[in-house]
Every structure is written in structure tokens, then in C-alpha cells.
A = this chain, B = another copy of it.
Amino acid sequence: MLGYAFMGKAHSYAFQTIKTITWPPPLEPRLIGIAGRNEEAVREAADRYGWEYATTDWRDLVADDRIGLFDNGGPNSLHAEPTIAAAEAGKHVVCEKPLGRDAGEAYEIWKRVAGTGVKHMCAFNYRFVPAVRLAREMIEAGELGEVRHFRGRYLQDWGDDPSLDTWRFDPDAAGSGALGDLMTHVVDLARFLNGEIDTVYGFAHTFLPGRRVDDAVEAAVEFANGSVGTLEATRFAHGRRNAFQWEINGTKGSLAFDMERLNELQVFRADGDRARGFKTVLVSEGNHPFWQHWWPPGHIIGWGDTFVHELHHMLHAIASDIAVAPYGADFEDGYRASEVCDAIVRGGRQAVTYRT
């Protein structure tokens, strides 16, 4: 594990919990080493989360032959080199999003890692929300018919404070602001649920003088399947803490979702029922995705539990030698999300061109 802060905690929690919840586990994780720059903090993290050793040099992890899976939860500027090095050392790799600081870097990571033959996953954890997976399954089964619209927005509100100073506002460390942090999630779920984006019309915007990354991103988009919609990401939507909301409308029905109520999926079916309307589905039934190992129906799970499903998926891919995609995002997905994001930043009308 590289990184002991927010993502370090979330991934450690997940590795610990896999066995308890998803029994029997595909592989039983052993938490060997964790790396981070601050010696005291990384040592505490190792103690707290149960890693066998701590180091301030991620190269120690790359060199450790006992480690089979390298999980990179560090700042964006530390995605490329360690991830590529670990893959080239034969380790499977998980890397937090955005994969690179721009599409070029993401492409480089994807191509270098894919060339090694290891499993690679870009940690778009929201694919592993039960309601999101259920949506995907319903769409795959044709329950929405032909899709007409996808609209997605990721609204947070912590950015409207000039005194904030984290690596997330440093262009070198982060690459971008709301774009890489939030819009990549929006684009990833748009692609996961509705396929490729062909054309974007939009822009990135910075509100605060002196801020060096974007604060908000706005776009109207056309999808390859003929549907159209809007995408938005912002850190300036007061009152919205983690409101990643999306809606998809098809000829046979619609789905809507809000991450602040991540256990719920709104489902509309154009089935001729006189009692017509959106159904609030509490996605917690035994026949719902990921739920076979959890609690009885109606006993909801939390945001952190998406990582349990995500890393379980990675362990399963490794154990059974199957592809991470399409239910998990691999590095190609990580790259493609960046390509759409960069097209929006270029501004105005932009056709999206994906490299292969």
C-alpha cells in the first residue's frame, strides 16, 4: 500500500473486512507493507491498520517479493512511477483515480502496465455501489430500452474557502481540481452505464483568485449510442457534501441515484401500470449485487463498504485469472475518463478521440 491518508484508511478497512463479509474470500489478504513520506504517520498507520511494516520509500514495497498486489492510494503525482515500477516487478496493481494527471500520463501508465501482463484496476469505487451495479445489470438486460439521456453531476462544497491548502490545489501534485477528483468519477459512471462519449461542449472554471486548479467543470455531451445529456463537477455547491447524482432515461424506463443515499436506486418502468412513478428501491435484498454476504434486507451499508466490494473484485480477478473489466475499471478505463476530461478543458465543442 502506498498512502496512509484518506484512501489508505479506506483501502485498509476494506482489506480487513473482506474475509468477514465475503465468505469464503477469493484470496485471504495479508497486509505486508505500507509506504508514505511522513515516517511517524506511516508507522502509526501500519499499527492502526495492521500492516506488518512501514516504510518511507515505496521502492521497498516494489522490491518485496512477498507482495503480490501493489495498491497505490498516494497523491496523483505519485501514480505513474510507483505503479509502473510495481507492475514491472510483476505485481498486480490497483491505482486510485485519476489514473494520471492528464490523459497523456494516464495513457503512459496504462500502456506500460498493460505491457507487463499483470492485473490492473483503476479504483473507481463507485462502480461497486450495489445500486450502481444493479443499474448496470438492469441496463445490460435491456430494462431501460434505448437510452435517451444521461445526466450526471458530482457536487461537493468544501472548496469555497481561500484558506484551504492541500496537495489537491497544487497543479503539480494533483494535475487538476474538480476535474480529476470528481469529473473523472462522473465520466467513469457515464461510460459504465451508457458507453462512450463522442462529443463534449463545455469548459472548466476557477472561482477563487489565486487558486491554481479548476473549481468546477460544466459540459453538455453526446454519447456514441445517440443519447445526450449534461455532466458537471464542482466543489462549490453549498449544502451538497458528496452528492454524486445521476439519472438515465430510456425508452422503457429511467433510473436515478444520489451518492448521499447510496443504498437507494430510483427506478421508473414505463410498464403501463396505472400506479406510475419512480420506485425507491433500497438495494439490500439477497438477490441484489454484493448483498449475499451482508445483512438482512433494509440494513444498509456505508460508503467505505464500496471498497470492500472493489478489492474483493480485484482479489477474485487475480485468484481466477479473469479480467478486471468490465465490472471493475481497468487502466484503459482510467485513461479514457481522462481523455473526456481533457476534451472538456480544451473548451467549446470537442470531438473526443481515444488512443488505443
A contact set with B: CB distance below 8 Å: 6, 9-10, 12-13, 16-17, 19-21, 23-24, 44, 48-50, 134, 138, 148-149, 151, 153, 155-158, 160, 201-203, 205, 207, 216, 218-222, 226, 228-230, 232, 234, 236-243, 247, 249-254, 259-262, 264-265, 267-270, 274-282, 284-285, 287-288, 294-305, 347-349
A20 and B6 contact, CB distance less than 8 A? no
Quick one: closest B residue to A6, CB to CB? B296
The answer, among B13, B201, B241, B288, for a CB contact under 8 Å with A349, is: B201
Minimum CB–CB distance from A232 to chain B (whole Å) comes to 6
Q: How far is the CA of A24 from the CA of B265 in the complex (A)?
A: 36
The answer, among B12, B254, B278, B348, for a CB contact under 8 Å with A201, is: B348
Residues of B within 8 A of A270 (CB): 238-239
Q: How far is the CA of A155 from the CA of B270 in the complex (A)?
A: 16
Residues of B within 8 A of A219 (CB): 201, 220, 230
Residues of B within 8 A of A262 (CB): 300
Q: How far is the CA of A181 from the CA of B275 in the complex (A)?
A: 27
B207 and A226 contact, CB distance less than 8 A? yes
Quick one: closest B residue to A349, CB to CB? B348
Q: How far is the CA of A295 from the CA of B12 in the complex (A)?
A: 13
Minimum CB–CB distance from A239 to chain B (whole Å) comes to 3
Minimum CB–CB distance from A90 to chain B (whole Å) comes to 29
The answer, among B10, B13, B260, B274, for a CB contact under 8 Å with A300, is: B260
Minimum CB–CB distance from A283 to chain B (whole Å) comes to 9
Quick one: closest B residue to A10, CB to CB? B295
14 A-B pairs (CB sep. < 8 Å): A13-B17, A24-B48, A148-B234, A149-B236, A156-B298, A201-B219, A202-B220, A230-B230, A238-B249, A238-B250, A259-B298, A274-B288, A300-B303, A348-B349
